[in-house]
Each structure stands twice: as C-alpha cells, then as structure tokens.
C-alpha cells in the first residue's frame, strides 16, 4: 500500500506538472479563443473527475456495501473518500467554469443546464458528507450513507432531465456556444488527453490517501479499545 501510494503520488504530481507546462507554455493559442483556450487543459478534466469518476465510484461502492456478499467496511470508507475528494473537484469545476464563462459569455454564472445540475450535484455531495458527520454506530452510519449515496445517484438523471427541459423551455436560445470547444489537433489534443490522465491519477492518489487515513484511524481506535479493556481487566484481577 505504501509503495502504491508513493508511485501514484510521484506519477500524479509529474503528470499534472507536465500538463501545466504543455498547457500554459508549449501549446499554441487558439484561433477563436486565443489564450483562453488554455483552460481546456484544466476545466474538462476536473469536471470529468468530479462528475463521473467520484460520483460513479461513490455509488458503486455504496452498492457493493449494501450487497450482502460483498459487504465490507472498506467499501464504506472508499465511498466516503471518493465523495470527499469529489467535493474538492466539483468546487474547482464550478470555479474554473465560472472563470472561463466570464470572458466568453460575459457573465460569471448562467442558468445553463450543465452548470445548474453540477451545482445541485455538489449540494447532494455536501449533504452526504453532512450525514457522515452525524454520530452513530459505524455499521449504522455505513448503511445510512450507502443508502443516501444510492438515493442521490437515482436522483441525478431526474435532476438532469428536469433541468435540461427547464432551461431549454425557459430561455429559448441558449447562451452556451455549442462550438465552445473548437476542433483541436495535434499537440492540443494530446495535451487535453494528458490532462484527463493526470487528474484521474491525482484523484486516485487522493482517494487512496483519504482511505488509508480512515483505515489507520479505525484500527488505531480498535487497538486503543483493546488496550483499555485489558487495563480494566488487569485492575479487576489485582483487586
């Protein structure tokens, strides 16, 4: 585990650094977007990690936890770690999207379907983390959180469709330029691909670290509990 963590850590830092260097200095500016196109090496990869990877992983681990055959506290911890890291990524997705939106659309925020459902998903994530903080027996908490994750996952398509219809019916023409990401070639495409790999690796590293912290904390509590029990028992024998 230690080895995997080190390898993942070194790899993710190196890949992200390479992505930044290529994205900021090596790739050429775009014909339409100019310098702004450099955000394409950051924002879509963050969104991919937050919306698909983190959320999918949390939901998958929740199902694996609830399934009696694969029930293990590990899945509960993995699910929680994915959500916690996912919240960081979803926040950055919204921030970078907003920074990109300001010069492109002229506003920091627009009630576009994708933006709105991303924000709602972020609030759902936060609700999950709030639920985790409710003091309860670990088993009870794990079951509650797994069920909450599944509820949220089921809610996502409903949210998506209602928001898409709400937006399109409300505004008529969308302010989002469908050609926002113009066709890209060569080095730009490779850098874009690299950004996805880099941030996926970074996500894996962070989730694994978070998971490991939780594992160590649980085992530490177990050790402390057995020690306290032994101490009490020794007192009983002595008296």
Name which position in 82, 115, 202, 204 contacts another protein (CB under 8 A).
Answer: 202
Nearest one of 179, 176, 182, 177 to 30, comparing CA atoms: 182
Task: Please report whether residue 198 would count as binding another protein according to CB under 8 A.
Answer: no
Residues contacting 160, CB < 8 A, separation 6+: 113, 117
Is the four-CA dihedral 141, 146, 152, 155 of positive or negative sign? negative
Q: Per DSSP, what are the bridge partners of residue 30?
A: 34
* By CB under 8 A, residue 10 contacts another protein: no
Q: What mask of x and - would describe binding to another protein in positions 72 to 91, judged by CB under 8 A?
A: -------------x--x--x
145 near 131, Cβ under 8 Å? Answer: yes
Closest CA to 47 of 180, 209, 226: 180
**In terms of residues, how long is the chain?**
239
- Read off the tokens for 225: 């509990």
Beta bridge partners of 34: 30
Q: According to the binding rule CB under 8 A, does residue 140 interact with another protein?
A: yes
Three-state secondary-structure class, residue 185: coil
Q: Locate tokens 């962070």: which residue? A: 206
State the Cα–Cα distance between residues 232 and 225, nearest whole angstrom: 11
Cβ-based nearer residue to another protein, 161 or 190 = 161
Q: Report the residue from 60, 73, 126, 197 that binds another protein according to the rule CB under 8 A.
A: 126
Q: Please identify, among the stretches 52-60, 94-102, 171-179, 184-192, the one whose residues bind another protein according to the rule CB under 8 A.
A: 94-102
Name the segment binding another protein (CB under 8 A); options: 57-65, 105-113, 206-214, 230-238: 206-214
Q: How far is the CB of 31 from another protein (least distance, A)?
A: 15
Cβ-Cβ contacts under 8 Å for 101 (sequence gap 6 or more): 107, 108, 109, 110
Q: Between 152 and 191, how does the x/- string for binding to another protein read (CB under 8 A)?
A: x-xx--xx-xxx-xx--x----------------------
Helices and strands in the chain, H and E counts: 7, 0
Confirm or reject binding of residue 229 to another protein (CB under 8 A).
no
Which of these segments, 56-64, 71-79, 130-138, 180-188, binds another protein (CB under 8 A)? 130-138
Q: Which residues bind another protein (CB under 8 A)?
A: 5, 9, 16, 20, 24, 34-36, 38-39, 42-43, 46, 66, 85, 88, 91-92, 95-96, 99-100, 102-103, 120, 123-124, 126-127, 130-131, 134, 136-137, 140, 143-144, 147-148, 150-152, 154-155, 158-159, 161-163, 165-166, 169, 202, 205-206, 209-210, 212-213, 216-217, 219-220, 223-224, 227
């Amino acid at each position: 585990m230690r080895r995997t963590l080190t390898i993942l850590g070194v790899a993710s830092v190196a890949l992200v650094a390479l992505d930044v260097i290529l994205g900021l200095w090596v790739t050429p500016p775009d014909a339409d977007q100019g310098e702004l196109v450099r955000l394409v090496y950051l924002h879509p990869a963050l969104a991919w990690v937050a919306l698909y990877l983190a959320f999918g992983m949390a939901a998958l681990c929740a199902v694996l936890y609830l399934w009696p055959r694969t029930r293990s506290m590990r899945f509960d911890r993995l699910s929680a770690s994915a959500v916690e890291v996912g919240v960081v990524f979803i926040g950055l997705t919204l921030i970078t999207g907003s920074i990109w939106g300001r010069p492109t659309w002229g506003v920091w925020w627009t009630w576009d379907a994708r933006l709105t459902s991303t924000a709602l998903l972020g609030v759902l994530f936060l609700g999950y983390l709030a639920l985790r903080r409710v003091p309860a027996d670990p088993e009870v908490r794990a079951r509650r959180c797994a069920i909450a994750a599944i509820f949220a996952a089921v809610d996502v398509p409903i949210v998506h469709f209602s928001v898409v219809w709400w937006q399109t019916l409300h505004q008529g023409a969308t302010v989002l330029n469908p050609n926002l990401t113009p066709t890209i070639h060569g080095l730009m495409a490779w850098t874009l691909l690299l950004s996805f790999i880099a941030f996926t690796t970074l996500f894996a590293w962070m989730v694994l670290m978070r998971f490991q912290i939780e594992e160590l904390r649980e085992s530490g509590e177990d050790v402390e509990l057995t020690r306290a029990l032994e101490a009490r028992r020794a007192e009983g024998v002595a008296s």
